[in-house]
A and B are shown apart, each in its own frame.
Chain A
């Protein structure tokens, strides 16, 4: 279409793309948000008007070129407008994770030197006010939702509607200033600054230019043939690079509509109502949905269960092949069509995925059963591999070449090389400019030729040219006898069991591997209910002997599959325990994107780890927990330690070691 035909006259900034969209699709919906139970919508022209009003209002409040504007809140059109308005003013939007606690927020606000903070509601305003005790650079707070804020001191605080009203009132005076600033924007201007959650150390501010974002959006939109009629649901954190690319980059490039849910709790209902055509979700969302479906099917009547099982068997056999356009016998096609009529169609509708044309998952490995389940229903779910520093896309799976164990081929314009130690490097137009105020990290991550280290170890499969990721490069280590230790590889296999929510495997520099397991309260709780097992708390359920038995079965199954891979057979789990609390980002054990922080867990649970290795049967421990509101408490527990069966050469090694 026209997008591909005009590389010479490509708009060079997001505000320029907005102007193009107003001219091209002025009366088409650009944003929708459900409010008061009704989907409210804004056309591109209306959105542009709101953005202009806000930008002028911000200038009137004293926003200067080069200032940082922090944006904190859930996905709402007003906050997306705030990002573009900041760009129009020549300022740099810095979206923050809204569930960050005040001290995390303080670091980022201090580091980016935010002068303006735009908040979604009172909760965020309260946090910013708390932060202001230590961070003094904040000059103005703007909030969207007025509720509960009427009595606050407004000397440096304004409602967004009032800022816009002031901008509109003063447009004679402010519009020339705004147009003047807009004219200065080009491809090299900073488009956005995103803080990486960082599995180690402090978050780093990744600076992405307009060129990074627009080039990446163009290439990826063409790769998946995205069109102006697409619908997406914006529900992932605004501070995450993926949301910025999907909801701003690709949305502005292709001109599709961004839908915002009514509240985080209504996400699933809103998903059904919108029926997105382009959908992204991390593996845990797909896992969660599948678990819910399975639990509900277990409660269904016998006929329904029979129909479901039968149809799903057909779907698993031929669904993926039909999706990939491979030859399938007429009889199978007919069975699949019936299955679609009675099971897949209604099921997809319930999940809100009826209209999905392109679906992506990334961030973590997804279980093959889960992945195949969605594909067999006829949902074009694919995987991509990316990171903030690459403006998301490094590799992605083309239609028809989708597998659960690879992350696809290099995205258009991306070059990939594998270093000797297995680390994956890439170079692309989306490669970030720098880490803000951190030249050392920039230099150690990006070499002068533009190659960026991903920190992940992987290899390119020769037969298909697809990239396969094994683990974080720094986590791939050696055991005491020099055999390869890849914890994530084993953890992922464990997490593919619905009963296991999280797993942490230890073994670097040791003679054998051990593991912590977190049970999944939804799945295990449902099982307990079904089997009349009473429990009062997560802790009690986690130590139930029958639960331990189930987990042991899972661990042994994983050992068997790990043993099949000669290179990694040393990673079989000899001993494990089930943790008495869920690993939590509030306790610093996971990152905000729910990745395991290995070092912190090792420190915090040192007593448990030593018990895993000294042969004791049980271990008593006391753990500090942080509640949602930041208060701390302690829980103590006695945990059983279990031995798991290992296979292959491992067995003799174990006897010899003892």
Chain B
């Protein structure tokens, strides 16, 4: 069915393309514990794809499989039409996948600008000596990278903290800086692990706007994990629902919302 809709335009005018990434029959075990059991789904180019589920459903494990941090025992990961071999996370990053973390993972002692610049690492080609000497190609590269980073700083409205050490920032802003760093890599696929966790309503609204704008302006495909159902339903084009490592639902927010298995998983069922 998916291949029939090779490419289509959504109601709000965005183009959703073909399949960017495909997870085929993924199973992930930690010793005897089965974290993910035989899950299959795909992510299409240009869409916002959410993975939801109750605590311990295996969402973060799934994201770690996508980002190449975990290697599933069974199943295949296909990215841009090729089966992905077992890779190190930095190789995955070079393929064009960037992520943010549930527990913020920034360099606390470095300024916002430097943190975001680290996101450009995959785009720096000059050797370590050239960079240390700040000559020729290294300098050109630095300027080009800084320009890109400044565009992102402008985009996420964090100009006022450009030179502030990250350790001094409040939580909500740190989350935004982390998003900036991920964006700096100009990813094809952006993975967001609970981007709204611990935020107040206003911060959530801001973050939602940024996620939509990123998707709209840069055409970045986004896969996100989120607990806040309201946010997920508003943001995403399609949702995968997981429970105890299994996939129990997949479809548009409306389809998922009316799926009995999903309702049971979230509200609980009486075992009588």
> A residues bordering B, Cβ < 8 Å?
35-38, 147-148, 150-151, 262-263, 265-266, 269, 628
- Cβ-defined partner of A263 (8 Å) among B14, B160, B213, B217: B160
Task: Using CB atoms, name the residue of chain A closest to B113.
Answer: A37
Least Cβ–Cβ distance between A268 and chain B, in angstroms:
9
Q: Which 10 A-B pairs have the closest CB atoms?
A: A265-B160, A36-B150, A151-B13, A266-B160, A37-B150, A262-B159, A263-B159, A266-B159, A148-B213, A151-B12
B140 close to A (CB within 8 Å): no
Residue interface bits B150-194, CB-to-A below 8 A is 1, else 0: 110111010110110000000000000000000000000000000
Q: In the bound complex, what is the Cα–Cα distance between A36 and B216 (angstroms)?
A: 21
- Cβ-defined partner of B154 (8 Å) among A36, A151, A628: A36
Instruction: Give chain A residues whose Cβ lies under 8 Å from the Cβ of B209.
Output: 148
Q: In the bound complex, what is the Cα–Cα distance between A265 and B160 (angstroms)?
A: 6
Least Cβ–Cβ distance between A70 and chain B, in angstroms:
25
Cβ contacts A to B, 16 pairs, < 8 Å = A36-B147, A36-B150, A37-B153, A38-B150, A147-B155, A150-B13, A150-B217, A151-B13, A151-B14, A151-B216, A262-B160, A263-B157, A263-B159, A263-B160, A266-B159, A266-B160
Residue interface bits B200-241, CB-to-A below 8 A is 1, else 0: 001000000100010011000000000000000000000000
Instruction: Give chain A residues whose Cβ lies under 8 Å from the Cβ of B216.
Output: 148, 150-151
Interface pair B162/A37, CB less than 8 Å apart:
yes
Instruction: Give chain A residues whose Cβ lies under 8 Å from the Cβ of B154.
Output: 35-36
Instruction: Give chain B residues whose Cβ lies under 8 Å from the Cβ of A263.
Output: 157, 159-160
Q: In the bound complex, what is the Cα–Cα distance between A269 and B161 (angstroms)?
A: 10
Q: Which B residues from 69 to 119 make CB contacts under 8 A with A?
A: none
Instruction: Give chain A residues whose Cβ lies under 8 Å from the Cβ of B146.
Output: 37
Least Cβ–Cβ distance between A637 and chain B, in angstroms:
22
Least Cβ–Cβ distance between B161 and chain A, in angstroms:
8
> B residues bordering A, Cβ < 8 Å?
12-14, 146-147, 150-151, 153-155, 157, 159-160, 162-163, 202, 209, 213, 216-217
Interface pair A147/B12, CB less than 8 Å apart:
no
Q: In the bound complex, what is the Cα–Cα distance between A147 and B212 (angstroms)?
A: 12
Instruction: Give chain B residues whose Cβ lies under 8 Å from the Cβ of A269.
Output: 160, 163
- Cβ-defined partner of B159 (8 Å) among A37, A148, A150, A628: A37
> Which DSSP category, helix, strand, loop or mixed, fits chain A's interface?
loop
Q: In the bound complex, what is the Cα–Cα distance between A147 and B152 (angstroms)?
A: 12
Instruction: Give chain B residues whose Cβ lies under 8 Å from the Cβ of A148.
Output: 209, 213, 216-217
Task: Using CB atoms, name the residue of chain B closest to A145.
Answer: B154
Instruction: Give chain B residues whose Cβ lies under 8 Å from the Cβ of A628.
Output: 202
Q: A148-B213, A148-B217, A266-B160 are in contact. List 17 more A-B contacts (CB 8 A).
A: A35-B154, A36-B151, A36-B154, A37-B146, A37-B150, A37-B153, A37-B159, A147-B155, A147-B213, A148-B216, A150-B216, A150-B217, A151-B13, A262-B159, A263-B157, A263-B159, A269-B163
> Which DSSP category, helix, strand, loop or mixed, fits chain B's interface?
helix
Least Cβ–Cβ distance between A237 and chain B, in angstroms:
19
Instruction: Give chain A residues whose Cβ lies under 8 Å from the Cβ of B213.
Output: 147-148
Interface pair B159/A265, CB less than 8 Å apart:
yes
Instruction: Give chain B residues whose Cβ lies under 8 Å from the Cβ of A265.
Output: 159-160
Task: Using CB atoms, name the residue of chain B closest to A150.
Answer: B216
Least Cβ–Cβ distance between B202 and chain A, in angstroms:
8
Instruction: Give chain B residues whose Cβ lies under 8 Å from the Cβ of A37.
Output: 146, 150, 153, 159, 162
Instruction: Give chain B residues whose Cβ lies under 8 Å from the Cβ of A147.
Output: 155, 213, 217
Q: In the bound complex, what is the Cα–Cα distance between A262 and B13 (angstroms)?
A: 31
Task: Using CB atoms, name the residue of chain A closest to B154.
Answer: A36
Q: In the bound complex, what is the Cα–Cα distance between A147 and B14 (angstroms)?
A: 15
Least Cβ–Cβ distance between A4 and chain B, in angstroms:
41
Task: Using CB atoms, name the residue of chain B closest to A267.
Answer: B160
Instruction: Give chain B residues whose Cβ lies under 8 Å from the Cβ of A38.
Output: 150
Least Cβ–Cβ distance between B82 and chain A, in angstroms:
32
Q: In the bound complex, what is the Cα–Cα distance between A514 and B256 (angstroms)?
A: 60
Q: In the bound complex, what is the Cα–Cα distance between A427 and B130 (angstroms)?
A: 69
Instruction: Give chain B residues whose Cβ lies under 8 Å from the Cβ of A150.
Output: 13, 216-217
Instruction: Give chain A residues whose Cβ lies under 8 Å from the Cβ of B151.
Output: 36
Instruction: Give chain A residues whose Cβ lies under 8 Å from the Cβ of B12.
Output: 151
Q: In the bound complex, what is the Cα–Cα distance between A634 and B155 (angstroms)?
A: 35
Instruction: Give chain B residues whose Cβ lies under 8 Å from the Cβ of A266.
Output: 159-160
Q: In the bound complex, what is the Cα–Cα distance between A263 and B153 (angstroms)?
A: 12
Task: Using CB atoms, name the residue of chain A closest to B152.
Answer: A36
Q: In the bound complex, what is the Cα–Cα distance between A379 and B57 (angstroms)?
A: 64
Q: In the bound complex, what is the Cα–Cα distance between A37 and B150 (angstroms)?
A: 7
Instruction: Give chain A residues whose Cβ lies under 8 Å from the Cβ of B163.
Output: 269
Q: In the bound complex, what is the Cα–Cα distance between A262 and B163 (angstroms)?
A: 14
Q: In the bound complex, what is the Cα–Cα distance between A628 and B202 (angstroms)?
A: 10
Least Cβ–Cβ distance between B188 and chain A, in angstroms:
20
Instruction: Give chain B residues whose Cβ lies under 8 Å from the Cβ of A151.
Output: 12-14, 216
Q: In the bound complex, what is the Cα–Cα distance between A266 and B154 (angstroms)?
A: 12
Q: In the bound complex, what is the Cα–Cα distance between A269 and B160 (angstroms)?
A: 8
Instruction: Give chain A residues whose Cβ lies under 8 Å from the Cβ of B202.
Output: 628
Least Cβ–Cβ distance between A150 and chain B, in angstroms:
7
Q: In the bound complex, what is the Cα–Cα distance between A628 and B159 (angstroms)?
A: 22
Q: In the bound complex, what is the Cα–Cα distance between A263 and B161 (angstroms)?
A: 11
Q: In the bound complex, what is the Cα–Cα distance between A36 and B150 (angstroms)?
A: 5
Q: Which of B151, B160, B162, B217 neighbours the largest number of chain A CB atoms within 10 Å of its CB? A: B160
Q: In the bound complex, what is the Cα–Cα distance between A35 and B209 (angstroms)?
A: 22
Q: In the bound complex, what is the Cα–Cα distance between A38 and B149 (angstroms)?
A: 13
Task: Using CB atoms, name the residue of chain B closest to A151.
Answer: B13
Instruction: Give chain A residues whose Cβ lies under 8 Å from the Cβ of B162.
Output: 37
Instruction: Give chain B residues whose Cβ lies under 8 Å from the Cβ of A36.
Output: 147, 150-151, 153-154
Least Cβ–Cβ distance between A401 and chain B, in angstroms:
39
Q: In the bound complex, what is the Cα–Cα distance between A262 and B153 (angstroms)?
A: 11
Least Cβ–Cβ distance between B56 and chain A, in angstroms:
33
